[in-house]
A and B are shown apart, each in its own frame.
Chain A
Amino acid sequence: DSGVTQTPKHLITATGQRVTLRCSPRSGDLSVYWYQQSLDQGLQFLIQYYNGEERAKGNILERFSAQQFPDLHSELNLSSLELGDSALYFCASSWGAGGSVDEQYFGPGTRLTVT
């Protein structure tokens, strides 16, 4: 158990809809990272927050947004969903802010299926 929790575990929704994925980082970690993993693919970094502020941005679509709240949990919002958004979405956390990136602890993921 990494100490990172994600909800929900599974999500099935229709095209055009909006969903929110939730992540609670490991106790004491200040950074939260969001990743997308399509079937049999590597991880695509989406976005990082450090202590409530956006720290780094990867290949995140404009339809996607995220935030980190004062209690350090984070939410990833996906809107106007398309079939191609079906994937595993992982949240990870680390103590540091990035730069020389520390090891990351991953949650179990949310499997999103868009029909």
Chain B
Amino acid sequence: SQQGEEDPQALSIQEGENATMNCSYKTSINNLQWYRQNSGRGLVHLILIRSNEREKHSGRLRVTLDTSKKSSSLLITASRAADTASYFCATDLNYQLIWGAGTKLIIKP
């Protein structure tokens, strides 16, 4: 079974709005990563947050991690059309990354 589960499965918002995606996982982790995938293309690393960190920022991205709840959230502020993509969280387990099924984000102009 998958370690990470993203929520929601799909999200459609207006350009300029904020988008929040959540990820829950099952076991203890060393770190959690978020990746973006444009349709049919390779994944691009966005942010890595370590288990001893609670929040991390990168440009318009903000990631939080709550290890007590085994969950993380990815916030994209002031969304743009170019943010349309699938977003995946991945957690490390036994020397490998375990991936969620992703959240498909659509930004409407």
B43 A106 Cβ-Cβ under 8 A: yes
Q: Number of contacts between A and B (CB, 8 Å)?
A: 68
* Distance from A7 Cβ to chain B, minimum over Cβ atoms (Å): 14
Partner of A106, one of B40, B42, B94, B100: B42
Contacts of A90 in B (CB 8 A): 42-43
Question: Looking at B35, B94, B97, B99, which has the most chain A CB atoms within 10 Å of its CB?
Answer: B97
* Distance from B91 Cβ to chain A, minimum over Cβ atoms (Å): 9
B100 A103 Cβ-Cβ under 8 A: no
Q: How large is the interface on B (under 10, 10 to 19, 20 to 34, 35 or more residues)?
A: 20 to 34
Q: Which of A13-21, A41-49, A62-70, A71-79 contacts B (4 or more CB under 8 A)?
A: A41-49
Partner of B94, one of A56, A97, A103, A111: A56
B96 A58 Cβ-Cβ under 8 A: yes
- Which residues of chain A from 75 to 115 have a CB within 8 Å of any chain B CB? 88, 90, 92, 97-109, 111
Partner of A105, one of B45, B50, B95, B96: B45
Residues on A facing B (Cβ under 8 Å):
2, 4, 33, 41-45, 48, 55-56, 58, 88, 90, 92, 97-109, 111
Kindly supply a per-residue 1/0 record for chain B positions 41-55, scoring 1 wherever the CB is within 8 Å of any chain A CB and 0 otherwise: 111110010100000
- Distance of A58 Cα from B94 Cα, bound (Å): 10
Question: Looking at B33, B96, B102, which has the most chain A CB atoms within 10 Å of its CB?
Answer: B96
Contacts of B44 in A (CB 8 A): 2, 106
B97 A104 Cβ-Cβ under 8 A: yes
Contacts of B48 in A (CB 8 A): 102-103
In the assembled complex, 21 residue pairs joining A and B whose CB atoms fall closer than 8 Å, in A order, are: A2-B42, A42-B88, A42-B102, A43-B88, A48-B95, A48-B96, A55-B95, A56-B94, A58-B96, A98-B95, A100-B92, A101-B30, A101-B97, A103-B33, A103-B48, A104-B43, A104-B45, A105-B45, A107-B42, A108-B42, A109-B41
Kindly supply a per-residue 1/0 record for chain B positions 64-108, scoring 1 wherever the CB is within 8 Å of any chain A CB and 0 otherwise: 000000000000000000000000100010111111111000000
